[in-house]
Structure 1
């Protein structure tokens, strides 16, 4: 039986003998192939996002499950949605095999338990209104496969992101997304191209879902949380651009209403200029 693509030998050898610039250039050359692999999978990604939007419009949630790098990327993407789009932290939820401690340190054998993913999901009262997305570069991680199988039994929509063709994950998920990036620069190190591919696809999924749900206006994050000085300044600039007003007034209105969207909606018809008309 042939090795999965993610485990096949690198196209490069004698890495330890390469000059530094050659190392960096070679890694960069491999990284450039990732967006092209994603482009091939756009129809698959489209179908999954459409299904997620439909469920979330009905009050459902999106869950990510994964192990190692894949799990960390899922948790990262989920954790960035509340500050970026102003949604609660139960809209998109990321879980990693081994629990939160696995975000920093590897947890031995955590990914090999086929029952644990569903146990980890139970406290969230996961139900058929929700969507479960499994993330696994190999497409064979037991933690992920077990979770998807149980989810399907319970009537949930399931998706999968993998980097091998016709993997067990693709066979299990209702909406498989295969991002075939080829052998890694360092053989089997799927934190590299496979991890990059997963990160990009997760960005695409969560961002397009939030846009479809109305969490972006024009091209601005009008619902973002104003949790630090940088974001307050960004919000102020959005209001200046949208309403054509001076910075001091924009800051005053933002301080009063504590929401970029609210300021724009309340004052767009009262100001001489609005880029959101």
Structure 2
């Protein structure tokens, strides 16, 4: 379906700019709406992924073309936003890293390379492998998911076509039926938007469950500039219910780590704060409940 030419857009190149843009915007909105039926399946992925990631597993994204480009955008944000270790984020890219910037002809058809990348990166039982393909039939991505599943990893297939092989070979298939594009076959549009939104939802909910968010705030972000240090100070002041100077002093004592700084600002010494967080698996709410 993602490759079909929709007759409604046959003359789009003759439309005035506002009309054409409005039609494309409506397609983007429809792509987001297409995700709603997949929410229960996404919740199942979160429940299955969190124990493996707590045990030290990696988040692994796999795909070709637009699909892997939006995946890299998702994964690369997890470090500064949630302090997710870059060493535990992996990208299996059809055609290699050069394909992020260039179209590598035939790379997506190389199933053998997909299998080889799984083997060379020692994908194993604690890893969570997310394969993306708008068509759901990209040989590289299908082979990555099949090989990763055989190695015991949790596998997820995200596609935009019904009856996608990628969804069938994964432990969890996520389907967003985005249909034909305004420009036939240009799956960087509706299909790309849907895939990016699915990854936004999935990775954010996983980070929520791992304790990187507390009371709606990014309590594991890395305060790497003046703006973010101001935000971190505000978080500690709000959550610990202390004045700004106390919050900043606590952050300086903890090396600008927000969660231990909250506890230090509340009267913990640093070693006790760190032990409490370790015992609570990094979930600040669990520390609060244990103290109550």
Provide TM-score, normalisation by structure 2.
Answer: 0.86
User: Quick check: 1:75–1:96 contact (8 Å CA) kept in 2?
Assistant: no
Contact 2:123–2:151, Cα closer than 8 Å, also in 1 = no
Cα shift readout 1:197-250 (whole Å, capped 9, x = no counterpart): 000111111111111111111111111112222221221221232234443443
The equivalent of 2:262 in structure 1 is 264
Any conservation in 1 of the 2:250–2:264 contact (CA below 8 Å)? no
Residue 143 of structure 2 corresponds to 146
Match of 2:95 in 1: 98
Please give the root-mean-square deviation of Cα atoms over the aligned residues, in Å. 1.8
Q: Which blocks of at least 5 consecutive residues in structure 2 are unaligned?
A: 269-284
Report the equivalent of 1:134: 131
- Report which stretch shifted further, 64-73 or 227-236: 227-236
Structure 1 runs not aligned, ≥5 long: 271-275
Map 1:61-72 to 2 at 5 A. Answer: 61-72=58-69
Q: How many residues align?
A: 268
Aligned counterparts of 2:192 and 2:242: Cα–Cα separation in 1 = 43
Partner of 1:191: 188
Greater displacement, 225-234 / 142-151 = 225-234
1:13 positional shift: 2.2
SS at match of 1:221: coil
Q: CA deviation at 1:100?
A: 1.4
What aligned pairs does 1:42-191 form with structure 2 within 5 A after superposition?
42-191=39-188
Q: Distance in 1 between matches of 2:251 and 2:149?
A: 45
Do structure 1's residue 230 and structure 2's residue 227 form an aligned pair? yes
User: Contact 1:75/1:95 (CA < 8 Å) preserved in 2?
Assistant: no
Where 1:32 maps in the other structure, the secondary structure is: helix
1:8 equivalent in alignment to 2:8 = no
- Among 215, 220, 229, the alignment partner of 1:218 is 215
SS at match of 1:115: helix
What corresponds to 1:273 in structure 2? none
1:269 Cα deviation after fit: 5.5
The CA distance in 2 between the partners of 1:246 and 1:215, in whole Å, is 23
Whole-Å separation in 2 of the counterparts to 1:205 and 1:103: 22
Does the 8 A contact of 2:247 with 2:262 survive in 1? no
Partner of 2:281: none
SS at match of 2:62: strand
User: Post-superposition shift, 1:176?
Assistant: 0.5
Q: Per the alignment, in what secondary structure is the counterpart of residue 161 of structure 1?
A: strand
Which is worse superposed, 9-18 or 182-191? Answer: 9-18
Normalization by structure 1: what TM-score?
0.90
